[in-house]
Structures are given as C-alpha cells and as structure tokens.
Amino acid sequence: MSEQAGDPGVHAGTASPRTGSPGDGLPLGGTVRPITRWDEPVMHRECADVTSFDAGLATLVADMVATMYAAPGVGLAANQIGVALKVFVFDCPDDDEIRHRGVICNPVLELPTGADRCLDEADEGCLSLPGAYAECARPDRARVRGLDHTGAPVTYHGSGLFARCLQHETDHLFGTVFEDRLSKRARRRLRVEAEEHVDDHPLHWPAPPGT
C-alpha cells in the first residue's frame, strides 16, 4: 500500500522513536524488484498458500521488504512483485503513531461487525497503481492472524492507517485491488490520476533500469 497522500507523518523510511529503526523485525538485505501493475493477471486471482518456510521464502520476503522501502510504501504483497503466494510485509503506523512491522503468511482477516463497525473514508493508494489516490471506505479496526516467514503464529490488531494496510494487503492476496471497492466514477478518476503520473514510474520502478 502507498503512503497516504498529503500525510507528512507517514514515511516508510522514518521510524517512530517508540519502535526503533526501520526494518526492525523484518528480513533485510534483499533486492529491489519491479512492482507489478494492476493490469497484470497475477493481481486479479487468489494466491497460493505458503507451505514451505524455507530459504526461498526468506529471500522472497527480504526482496519484498527492500522493494517496499524503495517505493516507498507501508505494505507490499507478494503478487505485487509477481509471485502468487499468500504473504505480505508491512511497516505502518497506527492511530497512536506506533509503527508496526512484520510479515504475514496465509492471512485470515477479521473485521468488526454490528455496533463495533465504524467506517473510515480516508484516501487510499496502491504501489501497483503509483501516484493515484481515492477515498475508500474501510472498517477503522482490523485483526489479521497468520504465520510469519519462519512459520510461527502471529496476530496483529490494527487501527487507522494500519487497519487499512492490513485489509489492503490481504485483499491483494485474494485477487482484489482497492479499485474493485470503488464506484465506476471513482475508478475513472483514479485511472486518470494514475495516467498523469505514468512517466514518474517506469515499468522497472522502483528497481534500477535494466532490472
């Protein structure tokens, strides 16, 4: 997921002093890869479950982290670098400006219901449609259960932007992009805005030319 438009407090390369340095708890040393765009088929089908928590997965996750920071963004799913596996990484602040970092494989998303459900209609952006933002209503709280890249169980509770990030990245792994949650009119505006920024994000972005 992209950093929020116009929010000076959200920078994937800047850590809150309450939670340490960028990358804490995330595998580092990966290679920056090109980010897959929305028009690619891998972005519109459900990914496969992660079944092997091996060196190959560790390399993939490190590459995802490097790519997320290079963009920069607050979250990245594996299919956003062309790999159809259910895993995403994140480095994202919540409503209390506490930054959360982690890896989730095979996520199970839980959202509030009934009187506990409150929608947040903030702007949302996606690294696979760079430069474009649209208001997208989502629950302001979320919980995701899954496994980390070593196979250990993890659970994350999110509020504000972090709740949005957990929902956005889980959506990706099930073949949904946030455009799918917008009206036709909002989709058209989003695509026009993305077209205005196309020259800023060549197909190799954020990797170096020739990648």
**Domains, the chain:** 41-198 (3.90.45.10)
| pLDDT of residue 106 exceeding 70 | yes
Mapped onto helix, strand or coil, the DSSP state of residue 78 is helix
Active site members: 169
Rounded to 10 degrees, the C-alpha dihedral 138/15/96/169 comes to 20
Alpha-carbon distances, residue 7 vs 10, 76, 89, 164, 194 (angstroms): 6, 19, 21, 15, 19
Taking Cα atoms as reference points, which of 143, 129, 139 lies closest to residue 189? 129
Peptide bond into 206 cis (omega under 30): yes
Contacts of 28 (CB under 8 A, 6+ apart): 62, 65, 66
Whether the per-residue pLDDT at 1 is higher than 70: the answer is yes
pLDDT score recorded for residue 5 = 55
Segment 144-163 shows an average pLDDT of 97
Q: What is the pLDDT of residue 119?
A: 95
* Token digits of residue 136: 């997208």
pTM: 0.90
Among 1-5, 17-21, 62-66, 168-172, the range scoring the smallest mean pLDDT is: 17-21
| 74 close to 125: Cβ distance less than 8 angstroms | no
Lowest mean pLDDT among 5-9, 18-22, 40-44, 96-100: 18-22
pLDDT of residue 3: 83
Count Cβ atoms below 10 Å from residue 182 Cβ, excluding itself. 18
Cα(37)–Cα(29) distance, rounded to whole angstroms?
Answer: 24
What pLDDT, on a 0 to 100 scale, did the predictor assign at position 191?
A: 95
Which position has the higher pLDDT, 7 or 69? 69
**Residue 22 pLDDT > 80:** no
Q: Mean per-residue pLDDT for 113-137?
A: 95
